[in-house]
Homo-oligomer: A and B are copies of this chain.
Amino acid sequence: MHVSADSLIATLRTRGMRVTAPRRAICEVIAAAHAEHLTAAAILEAARARSDAKIDPSTVYRTLDALEGAGTLTHSHLGHGASVYHLADEAAHQHLICSSCGRTFELPEKDVRAFLDDITAGSGFVADPTHFAVSGLCAECAATSR
């Protein structure tokens, strides 16, 4: 099931970190996002909307870093722009980003596995599919461009 805001906060507390209003708001936003992928800017905006505390971008990045350090959160690079963050408990998936329409797609774990095995077989390299997207053309854009 999905991680709750409380368990994210508990994670921070366990690591000896202090629980503050900004951190609480950020954890709530991340928990509420479920599988959605949010940019730091989106998290900041949502956290500000949810809390009356003044929240700074740097605080968002610092909290995100802390959660990543704890292993509960990961970020991926979808394109040329900002990174997106999502809970680490999600199934591994490969992001596909269409260079024409900009939409992103997720490749189910099964298909990713075949890709990973392929890479591993040749080089001993242990790929982490979550980190970078693969760019290309989505089915629709590929059809129109032809």
A interface with B by C-beta (< 8 Å):
77, 80, 94, 96, 98-99, 105, 107-108, 111, 114-115, 118-119, 121-129, 131-139, 142
Contacts and interface: CB of A to CB of B under 8 A. Distances in A.
Instruction: Report the copy number of this chain in the oligomer.
Output: 2
Contacts of A115: 114-115, 118-119
Most buried by B among A123, A128, A133: A123
Nearest to A121: B111
A41 B77 CA distance: 22
A124 B138 contact: yes
Grouping DSSP codes into helix (H, G, I), strand (E, B) and loop, the A interface class, with mixed when no group exceeds half, is mixed
Given A115-B115, A118-B114, A128-B136, A123 B105 contact: yes
Contacts of A135: 127-128, 131-132
A119 B96 contact: yes
A133 B127 CA distance: 10
